[in-house]
C-alpha cells in the first residue's frame, strides 16, 4: 500500500514509521517545514520516543518513508490516509477544531476515489459522522460509502513507548459503513502486529466496535476513567493527610482485592490526554457530574500543594520557592496542560519568588515558558516537587541549600535530613496521629 499520515507529531511520526516498517510506502504530511526537513534527513524532530531514531535512519534511507508539506504530493497517490492532527480545547473546555478543520480541508481538496480515510485524533462522539463526513464530501465532490470510506480508530499509546503500546493494546475501529470498517480492519492487520494477551476475553488484534460513535466513545471513556480515578485518589489523599493516615498504605490494601483499582494521587494531571478528553466527553454530556467533579478535584491539586507547603513553612511572601519539574510527566519533554503553570501562579499569588528547574529544559526554554530558571544547588527557602523525573529521586539537602520545607507532590523524595520538613501528598505531617 501507499499510505499518507497527516500530522508528524509525537504520535503521527511513530505511526508513519510503524507502517513503513511493515513494508509499505509512507508519505508523512506536516505543516512545519522544519519537521519535514528533520524527517527527510533521518533525524528525530523531538526527543524521548524509544527506537524512533533507529526506524527513521533505516526507513528514510531505504525510501520507504519520506515527509512533505504538500497534501497534493501525498494524498492523491494514497490508498489509506491516516489523520493524527491535534484537537485542542479552549479555556472553557469547548473543542477547538481549527487545526483539524484546516487539515480536513486540504485533505478533501486532493482526495480521490477508493481511498480509506481514518481519523485517529480523539474526538467528541459523533464528530466523524457529523463533521468530517459532510466536510469531505462537500470539498471532494465524492460520496462516503460509495467513492471513499471514512473510519474512526483512536490512538491508544503513550509517548515514549508508542511502538510497544501498538503491539500491546487492541486496535479499535469504527466505520460509517460495514465496508469501511472491513477496509480499516484489513489495513490495520497489514500494518500492526500484536502481543499475545491471555488476559483478554478475545484475541488481541483489530476490534471492530460496529460504529464510529462506539470507537469515539471508547477512547473518551477509557481516558475519562483515569481522570475520575485519579480525582478519587486525590480526594482520598487530601482526607488522609487530615486524618493522620498514609493513603499509599490504604491504596495498596484496597488494590489487593480484585475489584479495586485505585490510582495514585498526584499534584497535577497534565498532558494532551487525561485533562483534555474529559472535557471532550462533557461537550457531549454536560450533565455528567461525576466527570466534572473529578476534573475540578484534579484542577485544585496545585493549590492544595501550596496550602500544605505553607502549613509547614509559614507565610510564603518574599520566600524563594523552587518548583522542580515543568513537564507534565517524568521523562517526557512536554508541558501541555502541565500543572506547573497553576502551581507557579498560585505561589506567586501568595508572594513567593518562584524559580523552576527541569532537567529536560534549557534556561532559555524555561524562560520562553514564562519561568525564571532554577539550578540545583542554588539557595532556596522551600521547594515543591511537581514532576516525577528520575533525577529527583536522588535529591539531597545539598541540592536545596537553605530549604526549610519541601512538598513532594509525587511521593518520590527520600528523607532530606534534619531541618527540612518534607510533606508528601497523601501522608500526614510527621508526628500527626488519628
273 is catalytic: yes
What number of other Cβ atoms are within 10 A of residue 427's Cβ?
A: 20
Extract the C-alpha cell encoding 14: 511513530
100 close to 94: Cβ distance less than 8 angstroms:
no
DSSP-assigned beta bridge partners for residue 68: 29
Cα–Cα distance for residue pair 110/413, rounded to 1 Å: 54
SS3 of 102, please? helix
Crossing angle of helices 247-254 and 212-243, in 10° steps, is 130
- Single out the catalytic residue among 133, 171, 219, 333: 219
- Residue 132, SS3? helix
* Residue labelled with grid coordinates 535512519: 57
219 is catalytic: yes
Intra-chain end-to-end CA distance of the chain, in Å: 65
d(CA 180, CA 152): 10
Nearest to 124 by CA among 318, 281, 245, 253: 281
Any idea what DSSP says for residue 300? T
**Radius of gyration of the chain from Cα atoms?**
24
Catalytic residue among 10, 133, 273, 333: 273
Report the distance separating Cα 334 and Cα 357, nearest Å.
14
The 3-state DSSP class for residue 80 equals: strand
Select from 300, 131, 104 the least CA-distant residue to 212.
Answer: 131
Q: Which three cell numbers stand for residue 16?
A: 508513519
DSSP class of residue 322? Answer: E
- CA separation (Å) from 301 to 52, 271, 340, 367? 34, 15, 11, 24
330 Rama sector, left if φ>0, alpha if ψ -120 to 50, beta otherwise: beta
Q: Quote the CA–CA distance of 328 and 98 in Å, as a whole number.
A: 24
Rounded to an integer, what distance in angstroms lies between the CA atom of residue 133 and that of residue 130? 6
Q: Under DSSP, is residue 229 helix (H, G, I), strand (E, B) or coil?
A: helix
Q: Which of 176, 272, 324, 295 is nearest to 225 (CA)?
A: 295
Q: How crowded is residue 331: how many other Cβ atoms within 10 Å of its Cβ? A: 16
Residues marked active site are found at: 219, 273
Amino acid at each position: 500500500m501507499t499510505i499518507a499520515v497527516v500530522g508528524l507529531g509525537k504520535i503521527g511520526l511513530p505511526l508513519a514509521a510503524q507502517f513503513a516498517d511493515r513494508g509499505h510506502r509512507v508519505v508523512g504530511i506536516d505543516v512545519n517545514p522544519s519537521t519535514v526537513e528533520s524527517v527527510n534527513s533521518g533525524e528525530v524532530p523531538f526527543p524521548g520516543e524509544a527506537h524512533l531514531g533507529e526506524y527513521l535512519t533505516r526507513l528514510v534511507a531505504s525510501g520507504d518513508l519520506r515527509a512533505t508539506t504538500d497534501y497534493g504530493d501525498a494524498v492523491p497517490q494514497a490508498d489509506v490516509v491516516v489523520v493524527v492532527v491535534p484537537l485542542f480545547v479552549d479555556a472553557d473546555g469547548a473543542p477547538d477544531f481549527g487545526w483539524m478543520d484546516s487539515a480536513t480541508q486540504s485533505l478533501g481538496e486532493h482526495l480521490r476515489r477508493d481511498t480509506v480515510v481514518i481519523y485517529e485524533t480523539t474526538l467528541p462522539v459523533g464528530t466523524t459522522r457529523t463533521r468530517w463526513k459532510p466536510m469531505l464530501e462537500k470539498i471532494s465532490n465524492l460520496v462516503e460509502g460509495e467513492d471513499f470510506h471514512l473510519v474512526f480508530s483512536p490512538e491508544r499509546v503513550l509517548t515514549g513507548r508508542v511502538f510497544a503500546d501498538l503491539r500491546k493494546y487492541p486496535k479499535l475501529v469504527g466505520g460509517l459503513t460495514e465496508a469501511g470498517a472491513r477496509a480499516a480492519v484489513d489495513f490495520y492487520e497489514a500494518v500492526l502486529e500484536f502481543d499475545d494477551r491471555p488476559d483478554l476475553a478475545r484475541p488481541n488484534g483489530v476490534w471492530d466496535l460496529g460504529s464510529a460513535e462506539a470507537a469515539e466513545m471508547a477512547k473518551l471513556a477509557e481516558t475519562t476513567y483515569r481522570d475520575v480515578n485519579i480525582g478519587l485518589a486525590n480526594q482520598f489523599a487530601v482526607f488522609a493527610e487530615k486524618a493522620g493516615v498514609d493513603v499509599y498504605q490504604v491504596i495498596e490494601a484496597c488494590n489487593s482485592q480484585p475489584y479495586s483499582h485505585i490510582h495514585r494521587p498526584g499534584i497535577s494531571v497534565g498532558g494532551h490526554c487525561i485533562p483534555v478528553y474529559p472535557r471532550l466527553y462533557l461537550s457531549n454530556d454536560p450533565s455528567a457530574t461525576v466527570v466534572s467533579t473529578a476534573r475540578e478535584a484534579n484542577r485544585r491539586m496545585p493549590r492544595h500543594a501550596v496550602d500544605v507547603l505553607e502549613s509547614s513553612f509559614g507565610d510564603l511572601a518574599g520566600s524563594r520557592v523552587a518548583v522542580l519539574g515543568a513537564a507534565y510527566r517524568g521523562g517526557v519533554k512536554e508541558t501541555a496542560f502541565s500543572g506547573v503553570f497553576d502551581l507557579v501562579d498560585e505561589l506567586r499569588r501568595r508572594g513567593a519568588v518562584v524559580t523552576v528547574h527541569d532537567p529536560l529544559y534549557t534556561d532559555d526554554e524555561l524562560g520562553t515558558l514564562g519561568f525564571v530558571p532554577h539550578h540545583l544547588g542554588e539557595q532556596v527557602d522551600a521547594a515543591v516537587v511537581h514532576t516525577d523525573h528520575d533525577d529527583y529521586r536522588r535529591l539531597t539537602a545539598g541540592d536545596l541549600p537553605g530549604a526549610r520545607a519541601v512538598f513532594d507532590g509525587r511521593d518520590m523524595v527520600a528523607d532530606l535530613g534534619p531541618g527540612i520538613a518534607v510533606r508528601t501528598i497523601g501522608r500526614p505531617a510527621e508526628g500527626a496521629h488519628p
